[in-house]
């Protein structure tokens, strides 16, 4: 039976300011969901809350994977249960090689009982798996010898996260505006990489303003968030409509949330700064 990520009536505050106001969503392995909405609507807040960012306070509601509550778990424990986030702003770690970073990450995900000082995944096995994954994604093996995100272009940082996704093989992958700031060629590379990895063992939530990432990864479900609430759910045609016509019609259909949107916009820059 496929795993289920279940979000129920989730309310989240940042610095005591309510951002999410009752989000409910279910994602199963093998499904692709898109989450779209205007700036400041709560998209990234949902992403960071799901993976356990400490500055996002869950005031009510629940997050579960296969019935296991996540609310009180730290990010490492959530990752071991199968959660993965591709950040909008990937961090740079000078002096740490991509391969070393991935070897430690893979070991800790696959062996949650491992204690400090215990052996990592055998180097020979890891190198073969890493090489196979990079060839599958069309990546130069020299990439693994570079320091993590140091001197990387925007496209290279996002490809690095796709490589992490390939190696960690999570149950649920959340991509927070992975297409942000990328040119068309970089979006295509990232989109194709995700398409190769998405399958029956991975549920995907693509958070985006645009339709470009969805051309290669067509969502079965598209959700629209406005002022901290999911106000509409449809299929890929809804994403196409939003891409072509924006959110004016959504605001007309949901006047109460549209009225709250201005207040949301006031706190959006502060919330974004916390995420960075």
Query: Using one digit for the tens of pLDDT, what is the confidence trace for 13-30?
Result: 998 899 999 999 999 999
Within the chain, what is the greatest distance between any pair of CA atoms?
A: 59
Asked whether residue 243 is assigned to any structural domain, the reply reads: yes
Asked whether residue 83 is assigned to any structural domain, the reply reads: yes
β-pairing, 203-207 vs 68-69, is: unpaired
Q: Say whether pLDDT at 276 is over 80.
A: no
Give tens-digit pLDDT for 230-250.
999 999 999 999 988 899 999
Higher pLDDT, 181 or 252: 252
CA distance 274 to 53: 10
Q: What is the tally of structural domains in the chain?
A: 1
Token pair 């201005």 is at which residue?
A: 262
Q: How many CB atoms lie within 10 A of CB 252?
A: 9
Q: Say whether pLDDT at 177 is over 90.
A: no
Q: Please provide the average confidence, as pLDDT, over all residues in the chain.
A: 89
Confidence band for 117, pLDDT divided at 50, 70 and 90? low
Asked whether residue 38 is assigned to any structural domain, the reply reads: yes
pLDDT reported for residue 157: 86
CA distance 88 to 178: 6
Asked whether residue 127 is assigned to any structural domain, the reply reads: no
Q: Say whether pLDDT at 202 is over 80.
A: yes
Confidence band for 36, pLDDT divided at 50, 70 and 90? very high
Asked whether residue 141 is assigned to any structural domain, the reply reads: no
Q: Say whether pLDDT at 263 is over 90.
A: no
Asked whether residue 107 is assigned to any structural domain, the reply reads: no
Q: How many CB atoms lie within 10 A of CB 233?
A: 12
Three-class secondary structure assignment of the chain: CCCEEEEEEEEEEECCEEEEEEEEEEEECCCEEEEECCCCCCHHHHHHHHHCCCCCEEEEEEEEECCEECCCCCHHHHHHCCEEEECCCCCCEEEEEHHHHHHHHHHHHHCCCCCCCCCCCCHHHHHHHHHHHHHHCCCCHHHHHCEECCCCCHHHHHHHHHHHHHHHCCCEEEEECCCCCCCHHHHHHHHHHHHHHCECCEEEEEECCCCHHHCCCCCCEEEEEECCEEEEEECHHHHHHHHHHCCHHHHHHCHHHHHHHHHHHHHHHHHHHHHC
Cβ within 8 Å of residue 113, ≥6 positions away: none
pLDDT reported for residue 218: 92
pLDDT winner (highest mean) among 22-26, 113-117, 198-202: 22-26
Backbone dihedral angles phi then psi of residue 110, each to the nearest 5 degrees = -80, -20
Nearest Cα neighbor of 166 from 127, 126, 196 is: 196
Share of the chain above pLDDT 70, in %: 92
Asked whether residue 120 is assigned to any structural domain, the reply reads: no
Tokens for 100, please give them. Answer: 């070393």
Token pair 């969502």 is at which residue?
A: 219
CATH at residue 238? 3.40.50.300
Q: Say whether pLDDT at 102 is over 90.
A: yes
Task: Give the structural domain span for 231.
Answer: 4-89+172-275
Asked whether residue 183 is assigned to any structural domain, the reply reads: yes
Higher pLDDT, 118 or 196: 196
Give tens-digit pLDDT for 205-228.
999 876 777 888 999 999 999 999
Q: Say whether pLDDT at 3 is over 70.
A: yes
């Amino acid at each position: 039976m496929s795993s289920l990520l279940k979000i129920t009536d989730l309310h989240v505050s940042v610095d005591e300011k309510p951002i999410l106001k009752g989000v409910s969503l279910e994602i199963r392995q093998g499904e692709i969901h898109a989450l779209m909405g205007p700036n400041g609507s709560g998209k990234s807040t949902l992403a960071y809350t799901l993976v356990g960012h400490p500055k996002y306070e869950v005031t009510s509601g629940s997050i579960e994977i296969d019935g296991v509550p996540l609310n009180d778990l730290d990010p490492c424990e959530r990752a071991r249960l199968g959660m993965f986030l591709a950040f909008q702003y990937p961090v740079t770690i000078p002096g740490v090689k991509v391969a070393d970073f991935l070897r430690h990450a893979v070991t800790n995900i696959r062996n949650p009982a491992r204690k400090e000082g215990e052996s990592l995944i055998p180097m020979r096995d890891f190198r073969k798996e890493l090489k196979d994954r990079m060839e599958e994604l069309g990546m130069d093996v020299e990439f693994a010898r570079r320091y993590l995100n140091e001197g990387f272009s925007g496209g290279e940082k996002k490809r690095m996260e796709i490589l992490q996704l390939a190696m960690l093989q999570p149950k649920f992958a959340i991509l927070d505006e992975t297409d942000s700031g990328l040119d068309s060629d970089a979006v295509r590379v990232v989109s194709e990489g995700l398409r190769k990895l998405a399958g029956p063992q991975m549920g995907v939530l693509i958070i985006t303003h645009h339709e470009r990432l969805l051309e290669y990864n067509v969502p079965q479900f598209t959700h629209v968030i406005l002022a901290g609430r999911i106000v509409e759910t449809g299929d890929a045609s809804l994403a196409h409509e939003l891409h072509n016509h924006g959110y004016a019609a959504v605001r007309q259909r949901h006047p109460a949330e549209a009225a709250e949107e201005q207040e949301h916009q006031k706190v959006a820059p502060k919330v974004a700064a916390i995420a960075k």
